[in-house]
Amino acid sequence: MNGPHDMGGMHNMGSIPIEEHEPVFHSEWEAKVFAISFATFANYFPVDETRQASELMPPGQYLSSRYYERWLYALELLMTKHNLVTQAEIEDRIAQMAQTDP
């Protein structure tokens, strides 16, 4: 697909964000998104299918996303596509957790 992910040769992406001594994960949610994705690789989704899923993000969203946001997008897309979880279940659980944990 001729999507924004295919960015070799694109211009105007700014300077390279070099961070000295950066942690492996910058926050707990990143670590969890990574771990959940890893735990579902091979068993539920071939790795190439996960790459393909993150490419389906609409271009504007892709180009303003952070790295693990794209992983989350792919994870949700694949989980719902393969009926492991529904969008409604996710939204309900968020609403539930937001109430008990302000």
18 binds another protein (CB under 8 A): yes
Site for another protein in 21-50 (CB under 8 A): 22, 24-25, 27-29, 31-36, 38-49
Between CA 4 and CA 92 the distance in angstroms is 32
CB 80 within 8 A of CB 86: yes
Crossing angle between the packed helical segments 28-40 and 67-81, to the nearest 10 degrees: 40
Tokens of 22: 């950066």
Residues making contact with another protein (CB under 8 A): 1-2, 5-11, 13-19, 22, 24-25, 27-29, 31-36, 38-49, 51-52, 54-55, 63-64, 66-67, 69, 72, 75-76, 79, 84-85, 89-90, 93-94, 96-98, 101
